[in-house]
Amino acid sequence: MAPTASPESSTSRSGIRKLSNGESIIPASTRADGSVRKEIRVKPGYKPPEDVEVYKNRTAAAWKNRGKEGVPGAAAAEDDGKLPPHKTATAAAKNAKRREARKKAAAAGTDGNDPVDAAKSNTDATKAVDGAADAKPEEIDSEAEKAKEARKLAKKLRQARELKDKKEKGDNLLPEQFAKVIKIQELMRQLDSLGFDTDGEKKSVAAAKGEETDDKSLTNEEGGTANESAG
């Protein structure tokens, strides 16, 4: 009589069922054509390849999974409610800045002003100073660039006028030289748009020089008139 499977029996991956009395069997099964495959008794000690456990190297497995478990001790730090050192330092720096800002606001408020207005005034003043400091270099750079461009244009204008004089004297000009001559008016317009005269000087400076020259001429004329009267 074939042994019956006990409720406590267990089945391996290969399908071999081990009974509670220690015997191993391959249970009966039904084929695709409907015929019944009889139960087979397995010899004691036999273990098919499917049931042989694969050897696992624990060290290799730990190395393979090293990045999945996170940093050792990190979970414990989070559970304790503690921040990492770099985050703690950042938070401390922010708190120090807030305390310093409150001290400044309180000091401004003791002068009889509203602390909020005083803090706002300090902020606006700081922004204004920073804005002026940022704008000044840009203005200087802009003026320097204009002066540099004006010098280049004045040089081209001077060369073009020299070529024009040669042409008027009867000299033959090369095509590229003639191209420079016809750009005289354009160069003068560019200098004027930059605020410079045809000599490459700012118009305000050139005007001041012209007034000084006129004053000297007037003084000389007055001196000459006085001398004539004395004579």
What mean pLDDT comes out for the span 23-47? Answer: 86
pLDDT category of residue 67 using cuts at 50, 70 and 90? low
What mean pLDDT comes out for the span 10-39? Answer: 84
Q: Is the pLDDT of residue 17 over 60?
A: yes
What mean pLDDT comes out for the span 97-126? Answer: 64
Indicate the SS3 state at residue 192: helix
Q: Is the pLDDT of residue 131 over 60?
A: no
What mean pLDDT comes out for the span 41-70? Answer: 76
- Looking at residue 86, its amino acid is H
Average pLDDT, the chain: 72
Is residue 173 assigned to a domain? yes
C-beta of residue 83 within 8 angstroms of C-beta of residue 94:
no
Q: Are strands 29-30 and 10-11 parallel, antiparallel or unpaired?
A: unpaired
Q: Compute the Cα dihedral for 213, 215, 221, 223 and give only its sign.
A: negative
Indicate the SS3 state at residue 36: strand
pLDDT category of residue 205 using cuts at 50, 70 and 90? low
Is residue 36 assigned to a domain? yes
Q: Is the pLDDT of residue 75 over 60?
A: no
Is residue 12 assigned to a domain? yes
Is residue 57 assigned to a domain? no
CA distance 4 to 1: 9
Could you give the angle at which helices 184-194 and 115-168 cross, rounded to 10 degrees? 160
Supply the pTM of this predicted model.
0.32
Q: Structurally, how many domains does the chain consist of?
A: 2
Is residue 127 assigned to a domain? no
Q: Is the pLDDT of residue 52 over 70?
A: yes
- Residue range 154-188, pLDDT digits in tens: 999 899 999 999 889 998 889 898 898 899 999 89
pLDDT category of residue 51 using cuts at 50, 70 and 90? confident
What is the reported pLDDT for 221?
52
What is the reported pLDDT for 68?
66
Domain hosting 24: range is: 1-43
Residue carrying the six token digits 């071999």: 16
Is residue 171 assigned to a domain? yes
Residue carrying the six token digits 């090293």: 66
Token pair recorded at residue 113: 């002003």
